[in-house]
Amino acid sequence: MKNIAELINTGMIKHQHVHEKTSGADEVANVFNLFCEQLIIVFPASSAVLKDENSKKAFKQQWLQAFKENGITKLEYLRAGLKVARAQNTDFLPSTGKFIAWCKQGISEQIGLPTPDELIRMLMDFSAQRGIIEAEDYPFPNDACYWLVTDLMYESRERNLSKKDLLEQARIALLDMTKKILDGYEVPKPVKRISSAPVGVTLTREQSLNRIQEIKRKFMIGKSDEKTVS
């Protein structure tokens, strides 16, 4: 999978509606010309900033450098960022930092991963079923979610994470998994790693519901410094 810099340097990106051959220099220019066009459409007020060739050139240089420094090196990131941008209720161009955050926010969803909050809820739901179903048999949305949840549970146990720290760990784990997948990483199949309960012990429905309530009290009711269950 080519990264943005490679695509620009080799002139490999072409507009999907343009079929005729162009020179390498023209194709390099097309990359950010098309990107700027999309931003102007999404944020009409940006036309006041990108009003001439000098301002557009400075804009392209500044944003490309920011992309490189923040790991936004795949075209998928730009698509994800533009998708989030279209949902914003503003006509004004975002800062490079804000757009980069949108790229990272949208890319995980684009490749089938949850948001940090969704990952925490997934962890809570799985924790409530421990003793009823093993992790490798649990109906996670995909294999990546299995590894994310079980790794997060392990981190929670080992480091006794607070709600705030657990959410930050979920965010970091998702960014790492996203980067791996975009770089061609093949997510392995689930393997047995976490024992749900002692052999022969099965939770009743009432015990399962009680566990859900306990998890919600410790993670969801505004006490950011409370600790996770072990």
Tens digits of residue pLDDT in 167-194: 999 999 998 999 899 888 999 999 875 5
User: What confidence tier does 114 reach under pLDDT thresholds 50, 70, 90?
Assistant: very high
pLDDT over 60 (residue 131): yes
C-alpha–C-alpha distance, residues 128 and 213, integer Å: 9
- The string of pLDDT tens digits covering residues 9-29 is 444 344 444 444 444 334 434
Q: Find residue 74's DSSP bridge partners.
A: 3
